[in-house]
Amino acid sequence: MKFISQSIPDVILIEPDIISDNRGYFIETYKQNILNKFLGYKTEFIQDNESKSFNGVLRGLHYQLYPFTQAKLVRVVQGKVLVVAVDLRKKSKTFSKYVSQEICSVKKKQLFIPRGFAHGFVVLSEVAIFNYKVDNYYSSKFERGIAFNDKDLSIDWKIHQKSLIISDKDKKNPLLSKTKDLFE
């Protein structure tokens, strides 16, 4: 596995070694000891989640507050998505900045998103199956969101806004400047 720090160094692109032959391929999608060694701290994933979405579906930008903050390891099992991670750590040099990365089922890359970030993705292919590991349990009481179309963030979702399919809940997410629930 190859680990590549992104423009926000705590967000890591992971490129697995793909072993291919006439039967197909094999990859190791996760090795806790190698990831923890690269990060310099221990992350222990406790739950796997999966969603199926269609072209233009945008999910996010979501995060959870303490004590349910989550680090995520995201990958695409089928299709292609644009993944976005927004830094919500108020004391960070990269506060309110974001990383976006296209990941797809062909290249098998993954993105590690640490705690303190909002996360979202939009489907760029006809269909996408999106899988992610989290290191803490979900709590609806502690769930929060940021508006996907916040002009201060200026995220390029690669799809025209009128073509996006967004849940009613995500349409109501506040602008970052109106959000009180951020991370120290």
Asked if pLDDT for residue 180 goes beyond 90, the answer is: no
Active-site choice (63, 98, 119, 132):
132
Per residue in 32-80, pLDDT (tens digit) is 999 999 999 999 999 999 999 999 999 999 999 999 999 999 999 999 9
Alpha carbon distance 29, 17 (integer Å)? 9
Q: Are strands 47-54 and 127-134 parallel, antiparallel or unpaired?
A: antiparallel
Active-site choice (62, 63, 98, 119):
62
62 is catalytic: yes
Q: What is the pLDDT of residue 181?
A: 83
Are the beta carbons of 121 and 158 closer than 8 angstroms?
no
Strand partners, 83: 101, 121
Alpha carbon distance 14, 30 (integer Å)? 10
Asked if pLDDT for residue 183 goes beyond 90, the answer is: no
Q: What is the pLDDT averaged over residues 104-121? A: 98
Q: What is the pLDDT averaged over residues 104-113? A: 97
Alpha carbon distance 170, 168 (integer Å)? 6
Alpha carbon distance 179, 42 (integer Å)? 29
Asked if pLDDT for residue 138 goes beyond 80, the answer is: yes
